[in-house]
Chain A
Amino acid sequence: MTYITDAKVVSHRRVAAGCRRLVLAAPDIAQAVKPGQFLHVRCDGGTRAGHPRGAPTSVGRIGLGWVGSADPLLRRPLSVHDADRERGTVTILYRVVGRGTGLLAEKRTGERVNVLGPLGRGFEPPGHPRQSGHPCQPGHPRQWVGHRRVAIVGGGLGVVPLFFLARELSVGVPPGIQPANAGTPGHSGVPRRAVAVFQGARTAAELDVVDFSILPVDLFTATDDGSRGHAGSVVELFLDTVCHEPVDWVSAAGPPGMLRALAGALETLGLSGEFSLEERMGCGIGACVCCSCRIGTPERWEYRRVCADGPVFPAREVVWE
């Protein structure tokens, strides 16, 4: 179920590295949203949904059904960073990059933002119960099929939706998970947490945009400039680590170059996983077929819609240019 609503700004503040954290009151969306889904956000100051169930606004003598400027025109697809199902809020974390996000950045507490969502297919690691129709409460313990250990790999702002996933997968899960492949050569045998997060960024300041350390996860960090954690790429760090601390599944998001390298690493390791992709979007609901990506094999692929068939796709099905 998706909703179109004028959500009230609960809080909106600057975090690190030119990013802002926006908390919106949207109870229906907060109940329905799953990690990896996104909201399609109007940044232009217009807040009238013009929903067919509601009467169009009358401006002057002509029913307009439209308030706000037409510039910028399109909505902005923004990943859901977290949701509080009890308080009925959803959190968006975004970087101010252009006109749209620049206007969004000016929204004050108490003002409204028109959002459409939750949209798209989110992350679905195996053993993670699909929540459609019965939203889980935060902290609800999960029944892990085969005691799986999930690696979450994020580069840059790709970590934004991964925080929501990491929280849903880790909170309430007791530590001491033995991966399904424990006992294989090279495995340390040390019980690990169910979720291992690999966070990569250009600088330490960029790492601070999302704080995974508040979650009960094993956290590994990498920076391009070596200012914190492993000096180099998060994919190198992932490869080095999982050699002696195996995982069973990878959920990832980040820049195309990182995901492409990670796809190669997964192939080497014989691991399955899922990637969240990005593309310039139009409608966000699967009708305009503007946000295309190649899905299939290098020999036989087809264009699929990032907004409706994704944004999360099986890692091995993503065909890189």
Chain B
Amino acid sequence: MKTKTAVDIAGLKLKNPVLTASGTVGFGEEYAPYLDLSGLGALVVKTITLKPRAGNPPPRITETPAGVINAVGLQNPGVEALVADILPRLARFGVPVIVSIAGETAGEYARLAGRLDGVPGIAALEVNISCPNVKAGGIAFGTEPAMTAEVVRRVRENTALPVIAKLSPNVTDIRTIALAAAGAGADALSLINTLSAMVIDVERRRPLLGNVFGGLSGPAVRPVAVRAVWQVYRAVALPLIGMGGIMTARDALEFILAGARAVAVGTANLVNPGAAAAVAAGLEQYLAEQGIGDINELVGAAHRTGG
């Protein structure tokens, strides 16, 4: 039987529910030899800022049990390079491109949204208000409902593109932030960003990462992420993009059953450049084996059977 894997996120029609998580595939080009990018639901590129950012001093990555902590610090070439050089090159891959944006003030988010409005080759904006690795802005906006609302509202006012707010797990109650983003005009929510974390180098008796703190991702955080999706699905009537430690189609299903309409593969890309395609193929195979005609039937299904 023919299964339907297409999903609709705030008017954005995706051929399947599998995205790449921002920051894990750069701007996609390095992955082209390993992955048919056109087979993805969407490509979420690395967070872009108004001006180029050098990023944090190394080391920027370390491993933890079943996880990774990174502290790249939003190194990126800046929005002008994205518009002039990168987006035109991405057009050949035939995949919807979602641009992740971050600023140090609400005004910077607004200017970024305005700059990208009407630029060809962008399917949606993901508002990164949850990066734990930058000293100014970043996570601060995503941990205060009022600031979340302010940033999302300013972005909303400056773009006709779908606005996806990316939520931080480093909060008391993720539902209050989700509600604030929804109230300010977000069309969808991505959750979760990384968990603030650190590792001490016991040989040198000092923090291992150049930035001291970093963001924990990978299978280690998956149960936290699934819980967050579950909670937000019950609190907010927006489409959700679930992420956090998805390595397999089975992991992706957990998120979908908890209420995610789409999922993003992140850390797994670092290990297996073909991971996102494998997850998409695995989901399709599961639907066929189970005799399920449309993946949308599974979104939030766990709430109806045992919530």
Q: Is the CB of B58 within 8 A of A291?
A: yes
Contact with A along B201-224 (1 / 0, CB 8 A): 000000000000000001100000
Q: Is B231 engaged at the interface, CB distance under 8 Å to the other chain?
A: no
Q: How far is the CA of A280 from the CA of B61 in the complex (A)?
A: 6
Those of B20-58 within 8 Å (CB) of chain A: 23-27, 30-31, 33-36, 39, 46, 54-55, 57-58
Q: Is the CB of B62 within 8 A of A280?
A: yes
Range of interface residues on chain B?
35 or more
Interface of A is mostly: loop
Q: Is B9 engaged at the interface, CB distance under 8 Å to the other chain?
A: no
Segment of A22-30, A50-58, A194-202 in the binding face: A50-58
Contact with B along A282-307 (1 / 0, CB 8 A): 11011111111100000000110000
Q: How many residues of chain A get a CB closer than 8 Å to chain B's CBs? A: 41
Q: Is A314 engaged at the interface, CB distance under 8 Å to the other chain?
A: no
Of the candidates A64, A282, A293, A308, the one having the most CB atoms from chain B within 10 angstroms of its own CB is A282
Q: Which residues of B contact A214 (CB under 8 A)?
A: none
Q: Is the CB of B23 within 8 A of A288?
A: yes
Q: Is the CB of B278 within 8 A of A56?
A: yes
Q: How far is the CA of A65 from the CA of B231 in the complex (A)?
A: 29
Q: Is B116 engaged at the interface, CB distance under 8 Å to the other chain?
A: no
Q: Is the CB of B278 within 8 A of A65?
A: yes
Q: How far is the CA of A245 from the CA of B39 in the complex (A)?
A: 59
Segment of B68-76, B107-115, B144-152 in the binding face: B68-76
Q: Is B271 engaged at the interface, CB distance under 8 Å to the other chain?
A: yes
Q: Is B289 engaged at the interface, CB distance under 8 Å to the other chain?
A: yes
Q: Is the CB of A64 within 8 A of B250?
A: yes
Q: Is the CB of B271 within 8 A of A281?
A: no
Chain A positions within 8 Å of B, measured between CB atoms, are 2, 4, 42, 49-52, 55-56, 58, 61-66, 69-75, 116, 279-283, 285-293, 302-303, 308
- A-B contacts besides A70-B219, A73-B66, 19 pairs, CB < 8 Å: A49-B272, A50-B272, A50-B277, A58-B285, A62-B285, A63-B286, A65-B274, A65-B278, A66-B248, A73-B68, A283-B269, A286-B30, A288-B72, A289-B75, A292-B58, A302-B54, A303-B54, A303-B58, A303-B75
Closest 7 CB pairs of A and B: A65-B278, A63-B282, A287-B26, A290-B61, A63-B285, A52-B277, A50-B278
| A and B contact pairs by CB, cutoff 8 A, 27 listed | A49-B274, A50-B274, A50-B278, A51-B34, A51-B274, A62-B282, A62-B286, A65-B248, A65-B279, A66-B247, A73-B67, A73-B267, A74-B61, A74-B68, A279-B58, A283-B269, A285-B34, A286-B26, A287-B25, A287-B26, A288-B24, A289-B55, A289-B60, A291-B60, A292-B58, A292-B60, A303-B58
